[in-house]
Amino acid sequence: NEKTIIAPSVLSADFSRLGEEVEAVCRAGADWIHLDVMDGHFVPNITFGPPVIKALRDRTDKVFDCHLMIEPPTPYLGAFACAGCDIITVHAEATTHLDRSLQAIRDVGCKAGVSLNPSTPESVIEYVLDRLDLVLLMTVNPGFGGQDFIPAVVDKVRRVRSMIGGRPIHIEIDGGVTPETAPLVAAAGADVLVAGSAVFKGGSEEHYARNIAAIRAA
Ligand code: DX5
Ligand code: ZN
């Protein structure tokens, strides 16, 4: 719907023209830009880090939504903040001291998010709710774009929505979001949808606009 935030993941963009791709997807209707940072250790893939994000920063004023799939994340928070990230999300599974990591994100001036793998129970966020601006629920195992949505997570979305109560915390969904799966998670209480392959398929700005509109309409 109109109020749902769509955050295209540049993981599915053409990396040889990343700046133009970010501009194109912003013109096509993206609300936020989702940046998937992978270290080849927490997840079995390697992407990009602060220098690439910094190079993209002057291409748009949209929110840079940085998803850190790195272990440990805390030593690098300052570098990602300096690169121009607005929201930094760490994985609960990748940090021993989640409360400290979340405080550290706000200390560097960013909004703080926590991400949970599909198998991680929502109870891990129970005592850090007041330190959170966003909860990112993975609907695939992190590491790659283009995987199938795991429907068991829909129930977790509902539970996190009720744990949050009246707090101003976003619930973001990442992995296998398409016009078919988007309504399931939106109905369960998600308000931010990440989509990589479903947005960038087709390879042109016209496709991106049509793809984003299709997710929004769903
Ligand atoms: C997976 C990443 C996702 C991924 C989503 O590890 O965190 O952001 O790019 O890609 P799709 O939408 O293709 O599942
Ligand atoms: Zn992601």
pLDDT digits (tens, 9 = 90+) for 14-60: 999 999 999 999 999 999 999 999 999 999 999 999 999 999 999 99
Residue 34 labelled as part of a binding site: yes
The model's pLDDT over 84-143, given as tens digits with 9 standing for 90+, comes to 999 999 999 999 999 999 999 999 999 999 999 999 999 999 999 999 999 999 999 999
| The pTM of the whole model exceeds 0.90 | yes
The pLDDT value recorded for residue 1 is 65
The model's pLDDT over 47-86, given as tens digits with 9 standing for 90+, comes to 999 999 999 999 999 999 999 999 999 999 999 999 999 9
- Mean of all residue pLDDT scores within the chain: 98
Residue 36 labelled as part of a binding site: yes
Cβ neighbours around 162 below 10 Å, total: 9
User: Pocket residues for ligand 1 (CB within 6 Å)?
Assistant: 9, 11-12, 34, 36, 67, 140, 142-143, 145-147, 174-177, 194-198
Beta bridge partners of 194: 7, 174
Is residue 99 part of the annotated active site? The answer reads no
Residues 6+ apart with CB under 8 A from 58: none
Give the total number of structural domains in the chain: 1
The tokens describing 85, both together, are 């990230």
Q: What is the dihedral of CA 27, 143, 151, 191, to 10 degrees?
A: -40
From the alpha carbon of 142, which atom of ligand 1 is closest?
6
Q: Residue 67's domain spans which residues? A: 5-217
Is residue 174 part of the annotated active site? The answer reads yes
Give me the CATH number covering residue 13. 3.20.20.70
From the alpha carbon of 138, which atom of ligand 1 is closest?
7
